[in-house]
Every structure is written in structure tokens, then in C-alpha cells.
Amino acid sequence: MVCVGFFNLNAISSFGDDDKNKRGDDKKNKAKREDTTKFAINNQNLIEEEDESPDTTQILFPSHDLYAIWDTVWAHPYNFNESFKMDSVCIQLVAPGDNPFVMPFKGGKTSVFGWRRYRPHYGTDIDLETGDQVVSAFDGMVRLAKYCQGYGNCVIIRHNNGLETVYGHLSKILVEAGQTLNAGDLLGLGGNTGRSRGSHLHLEFRYLGQALDTEDFIDYEKGELKDYCFTLRKADVENKYDLRALHARHKRDVGYARASKGGKYTPVGKGGIYRVRSGDNLGKIAARNHTTIKSLCKKNRIKETTVLQIGQKLKI
Ligand SMILES: [Zn+2]
């Protein structure tokens, strides 16, 4: 498969031996890297401004050409829609010279990517016992290793391929931010911390902060990657991965469908305009649209005693 796009042009240049050597330096300079929260990487300026060798500890985060920040506090500090300006990009998951992909934990899937119990579930849940070893999927560097709400004990790794992987509900974290890891290196022990019912690993793949379905990458039966390249299309994000937007669209569609069948649910139309239906009164309309009679009267310049006409438009 031929890979095109800005990511690969940049990323391939950072996969070479030179990068491996620099990553070796990173291990020595780990302590310096821990205070780099929200440090904006400006590789170009550093090189231009300093006559001597630049401070390499500040420019060697994996995929620094793709991400503007390195944040060790917030799990997801990125804005995908602002960062991703292309129609599609091919992500080369394992480049020549990288260690091969390793399944973080080989276990049965217990929950999949999608909308679940009133909230989005951005990962795939893998069954394990508390204390089971969890390993890094690809080569990379630990960006975050701490307790996070929802995730519990959590490790997030930034990879050379541009992805970030998230490992949630760990019982024990065995790495720290700034640490380089090879694919297959131990990062923590499985557990049941955070928003979790029973021991399992919550595994996410993200690109510029956008969660993607790990099942589009991994053949869980075999514990292998489905392909060495993954093409991410903006249309797929809109139709498949942006769970909140999808859910909002679904709710709206269901609402209109019910309304057209004369059901109870009557949504507010575009621009906050409500069309009065048979049996409506101001009290009902206010309650249904989470507002007050007083507010309705003020916005529509009507009185509480005004008789409503079927089909009349009201500002909500
Ligand atoms: Zn989960």
C-alpha cells in the first residue's frame, strides 16, 4: 500500500537510526522531561537561535512534528478538528526499524467502541485478572502516567507512528512520564480502578486526540495488526468515530421521527423555534423545552392569557 500525506513524509524522517540514538539520550534526560507540561515545541526556533547544539531534551517527543504540545497532566489536551485539516492520512503503524506491534494483553473483548450507558465508550475492554501484565503496543514514550477520573490508574503513550494509546483501570502503574518504551515493554498491571466494573483493560487508540476504534487496527482473534498502514479519513471520523456528534444526530433524528408520528417528543426546530401543536399550552411548552412561561411570554411578546394557535411559531 502506498502511503501519502503529510504525516508519513514527516514521520518517516524520524524513524531512522538517528532517531533511535536520540531516544537513547532521552532515557538519560528523563528527569528534565517531567516538567514539560504544555511545553510548545518549536524545533525550528531552537535550532535557529542557538549556535551550539540545541537542547535536544525539548524536541524529541515522538511525533513532535504532528503534535504542538506535550502534556503530562491532561489526558486529552488536543483539538482534532483544528489540527486535522486533510481529507485523509495514511498512518504507517510500524515503520522499518521499529519493533513489531505487541498485543497489550491477550484476552477476550468484553465491551466495544461505541455509545454505552448514556456516554461514549472510546475504547475496547479486554478481560483480565487484577495483577496481569499490560505492555505497550508500539515503540514510544510515556506522556502521562497517573490517576485520571474515569480511567483510574492510567498510562498514555505517544508513539512514533503518530498514535497515542491509552491503558485504563490499571491496579499499578510501573512507568513514568518521559520514559521511552519499546513495543512489548511492561507498563503496568491490570486492575479495576476508576469507572470500572470488574477487572479489565480499557484500551484506546487515538490520533491527534480523536479516539478511533481499536478493532479497525487489531485482529483480536489473532492478536495482530490487520495491516501495517491505517488510512484515517475525515469522513470516517464524522460517520464512525465522533461518538458525541453521532449520538446528538441520532437523538435529533429519533426526536423528529417521533414528532412526525404524533409522539410525545416534540423537538425545538432550527434557531430555537417551536411550532405549537394541538393540546399545547404555555406550561406544557415551557416544561418540554426546559424554560419558563415568563421567559416564553417575554421572548414572544405575549401574555400568559394569550390563546395559542396551532402552527404558531414561538421563540424558545
Ligand atoms: Zn472501557
Q: Write the pLDDT tens digit of every residue in 205-228.
A: 999 999 999 999 999 999 999 999
Stated pTM of the model: 0.67
**pLDDT recorded at residue 259:** 61
Four-way CATH pick for 1-265: 3.40.50.10680, 3.40.50.150, 2.70.70.10, 3.20.20.70:
2.70.70.10
- Cα–Cα nearest to 30, from 203, 175, 138: 175
Question: What are the start-end ranges of the H helices in the chain?
Answer: 6-13, 17-28, 30-33, 43-49, 80-83, 234-236, 243-260, 282-288, 293-300
Helix (DSSP H) and strand (DSSP E) numbers for the chain: 9, 21
CA 109 to centroid of ligand 1, rounded, Å = 10
Separation of 141 CA from ligand 1 center, angstroms? 22
Q: What are phi and psi of 119, to 5 degrees?
A: -150, 160
Q: How far is the CA of 179 from the centre of ligand 1 (A)?
A: 25
Distance of CA 273 to the CA centre of its chain: 34
Residue bearing the bigger pLDDT, 283 or 105: 105
How far is the centre of ligand 1, averaged over its atoms, from the C-alpha of 306 (Å)?
52
Long-range contacts of 9-18 (CB under 8 A, 24+ apart): 10/65, 10/66, 11/63, 11/65, 11/66, 11/92, 11/95, 11/160, 11/161, 11/162, 12/92, 12/95, 14/62, 14/63, 14/65, 14/160, 15/95, 15/96, 15/97, 15/98, 15/160, 16/97, 17/97
- Whole-number Å distance, alpha carbon 157 to ligand 1 midpoint, is 17
Banded model confidence at residue 116, pLDDT cuts 50, 70, 90: confident
**Local structure of residue 214 (DSSP, 8 states):** G
Query: C-alpha grid cell for residue 199?
Result: 477487572
Contact between 104 and 184 under an 8 Å Cβ cutoff? The reply is: no
Q: Look at residue 290 and tell me whether its pLDDT is greater than 50.
A: yes
Give the span between the Cα atoms of 205 and 208, in whole angstroms.
10
Residue 195 pLDDT greater than 80, yes or no: yes
- pLDDT for res 59: 54
Q: What are the structural domain ranges in the chain? A: 1-265, 268-315
Q: How far is the CA of 188 from the centre of ligand 1 (A)?
A: 16
Q: 126 C-alpha to center of ligand 1: Å? A: 8
Torsion sign across C-alpha atoms 108, 117, 225, 67: negative
- Gap from CA of 42 to ligand 1 centroid (Å): 35
Judge whether residue 94 has pLDDT over 70.
yes
Asked if residue 166 has pLDDT above 90, the reply is: yes
Per the document, the length of the chain is 316
**CATH 3.10.350.10, applies to 268-315:** yes
**Residue 231 alpha carbon to ligand 1 centre in Å:** 24
What pLDDT digit, counting tens, does each position of 183-192 carry? 999 999 999 9
**110 Cα: distance to centroid of ligand 1 (angstroms):** 9
Residue 37 pLDDT: 44
